[in-house]
Amino acid sequence: MKPAEPFARFAYQRHADQARAKPASYPVVIIGAGPVGLTLAIDLKLRGIDCVLLDDQDRIGEGSRAICFAKRTLEIWDRLGCAAPMLDKGVRWNIGKVFQHEKLLYHFDLLPEPGHKMPAFINLQQYYAEKFLVDRAQALGVDLRWLNRVVGLQSGEQGACIVVETPDGSYSLDARYVIACDGARSPMRSMLGLEFMGEQFEDQFLIADVRMTAEFPVERWFWFDPPFHGGKSCLLHKQPDDVWRIDLQLSPDADTEYERRPEVVRPRIERMFGHGDFDLEWISVYRFQCRRLERFVHGAVIFAGDAAHQVSPFGARGANSGVQDADNLGWKIAAALRGRSGLIASYDQERSQAADENILHSTRATDFIAPRHKAEARFRNAALALARQTEFGKRFVNSGRLSTPTTYMASPLSTADDLPWAAGPTPGAPIPDAPLGNGYLSEYLGQGFALLHWRGGGEALYVEGLPMIAVSDHDEALIARFALTPGAAYLIRPDRHVAARFHNPEPAALAAALNKANAA
Amino acid sequence: MTGLDTKARFADPDAAYRAIIEAHRGLTESESAELNAALVLILANQLGDMAMLHEALVLAQRSIKGLRDPHA
């Protein structure tokens, strides 16, 4: 294995703020230039908010880490203008195979629904995703400061002051909002002395990136109890550049120093591929946790991504849910800076619900993949045995339920339906994409609220200050997906969740729904 | 109101009981546990109702507690 090299390195630059006698003041300081912090910085920049993005490193680390980016994440990055390079580089797959011992139990085809601009998901090493986000942030002129480590914090309800250490010594910054996107080990969380509640799982997993040019199908393979790794589970995923990602379950008491040695890892992978024609690129061992902060908002300090909640990796809910945190927070911060501070509380409420949902799903998958005692293993094996013969057995098998966006139930921003709807996204639900005109609905939506409306032969709706997306009689797929009746309208939030919907929209009801969605 | 029917549903309960016992005849402790695990999943799916499944679980838990402590 070659010595690890950073994927990309950035230059530390001394900033004029470091020489100021009084701390410079910004509306927003974001801590941590990972996928979440970068997404939020780009979002705020596009909303015209001045923010500073600090990172304690000067590089994008080696190793694939998050590798599965879901449709919702890609839609968010598309809104921010950086999905194209991700799609170009990413690998798409539809076939998944589940094995028990050496036998194929069953395979599934994701058969993605047509009429969406973005695929169900792509596989892409996190370092590529981060590089494309950095490129976009830099093109927009985001104030990104490398080798800026936050070492001190004083915060209140109306703002925070942070102390930042750099190669040139330390300096201070004032901010109305400080957003902590500083990852699973979040130093910001420690500085505030906040408890990270939840459970730590016993089992350890070894992950390896392997470069192999030999022919091998582009499929997701999951093994329960494979012959090359007796009694444990294993996941194989294709990434770009002929890199394969392998996740191997280890015993709780496994000697990780021994297990991660290339001469120990290699023979297992040789048996898995059936040949030794590959190179090991990166090996890491982790023990995972499902934990969250009780509250994500602490006065002027707001937590997002792994700093706020951590899940097991099965289901690709880590980076994907973090990017959705940023998506939920960006427009609310922008509005709060204009006086609508009530929106910030809804971030805590909505994303807490999402975190609980993600923790629930990833905990269930973990319990299935790594049973804790004999009886659990027996049920797991019974489900696998039934999966060979029955449809319901397959449905019990859980090798990770892939990330989908959360419907915000009982959100303070949602207006309940006044009349029954046959289908379509409910208030609080993420909207699905759909073909519209010669493109897609997602391309018509901007950075703010919008009204999706089908005249259906009646009067056109007009609400001042609210962009309207007109659906024509020809947009049948969209009409069906939203269960639009003639004259109906959806009020869509900037993060593309439904705020309200009406079969017979009245301007007064729409204005009230818009106020509610703005926590006004 | 209860969703789980605790009245006898088989016309011939003895035959149903006997069928379950016979399926376990000659099995080791571990094979028997495996068979039960598969059977529980099959029957749970047949129930197909979370509320009833919960009721069944509670009833089972209570009954084995009674087995261990006859005064409970």
List of residues 6+ apart from A9 with CB closer than 8 A = A58, A59
Q: How high is the pLDDT of residue A289?
A: 85
Taking Cα atoms as reference points, which of A34, A13, A8, A5 lies closest to residue A167? A13
Taken as a whole, chain B contains a residue count of 72
What is the interface pTM, i.e. ipTM, of the complex? 0.93
Q: How many of the other CB atoms lie within 10 Å of CB of B16?
A: 13
Taking Cα atoms as reference points, which of A390, A394, A324 lies closest to residue A357? A324
Task: Give the tens place of pLDDT for each residue, A252-288.
Answer: 888 989 999 999 999 989 988 889 999 999 999 888 8
User: How far from A419 is each of A243, A456, A503, A515, B31, CA to CA, in Å?
Assistant: 52, 18, 7, 20, 55
Q: How high is the pLDDT of residue A93?
A: 87
B41 touches chain A (CB under 8 A): yes
The CA R_g of chain A, rounded to the nearest whole Å, is: 24
Q: How many of the other CB atoms lie within 10 Å of CB of A232?
A: 20
End-to-end distance of chain A based on CA atoms, in angstroms?
A: 57
CA dist., res. A127 & res. A246, Å (int): 17
Give residue ranges of A with CB < 8 Å to any B CB. 375, 378-379, 381-383, 385-386, 392-393, 396
- Is A382 in Cβ contact with B41 (below 8 Å)? yes
Q: Is the pLDDT of residue B32 over 90?
A: yes
Residue B46: list chain A partners with CB under 8 A.
Answer: none
Q: How high is the pLDDT of residue A416?
A: 98
Q: Is the pLDDT of residue B7 over 70?
A: yes
- Is B34 in Cβ contact with A378 (below 8 Å)? yes
Q: Is the pLDDT of residue B72 over 60?
A: no
* Residues B47-61, mean pLDDT to the nearest whole number: 96
List of residues 6+ apart from A425 with CB closer than 8 A = A407, A431, A432, A482, A490, A498
Cβ-Cβ pairs closer than 8 A, A with B, add up to 23
- Is B33 in Cβ contact with A386 (below 8 Å)? no
Q: Which amino acid type is present at position A465?
A: G
The low-confidence residues of chain A, meaning pLDDT below 50, are none
- Is A392 in Cβ contact with B38 (below 8 Å)? no
- Is B37 in Cβ contact with A381 (below 8 Å)? yes
Taking Cα atoms as reference points, which of A350, A317, A297 lies closest to residue A499? A350
B38 touches chain A (CB under 8 A): yes
Contact present, A450 and A501 (Cβ < 8 Å): no
CA dist., res. A76 & res. A403, Å (int): 14
Helix (H, G, I), strand (E, B) or coil at B54: helix
To the nearest whole Å, the CA of B59 is away from the closest chain A CA by 19
The residue whose two tokens read 């000697």 is A255
Taking Cα atoms as reference points, which of A279, A342, A26 lies closest to residue A173? A26
List of residues 6+ apart from A358 with CB closer than 8 A = A309, A311, A315, A317, A321, A403, A406
Nearest residue in A to B39, CA atom: A382
B67 touches chain A (CB under 8 A): no
Q: Is the pLDDT of residue B1 over 60?
A: no
CA dist., res. A378 & res. A32, Å (int): 43
pTM of structure? 0.94
Contact present, A461 and A453 (Cβ < 8 Å): yes
Q: Beta strand pairing status for A243-250 and A196-211?
A: antiparallel
Q: How high is the pLDDT of residue A112?
A: 83
Q: At what angle do helices B13-24 and B29-47 cross, to 10 degrees?
A: 140
Taking Cα atoms as reference points, which of A259, A280, A258 lies closest to residue A205? A259
Q: How high is the pLDDT of residue A3?
A: 53
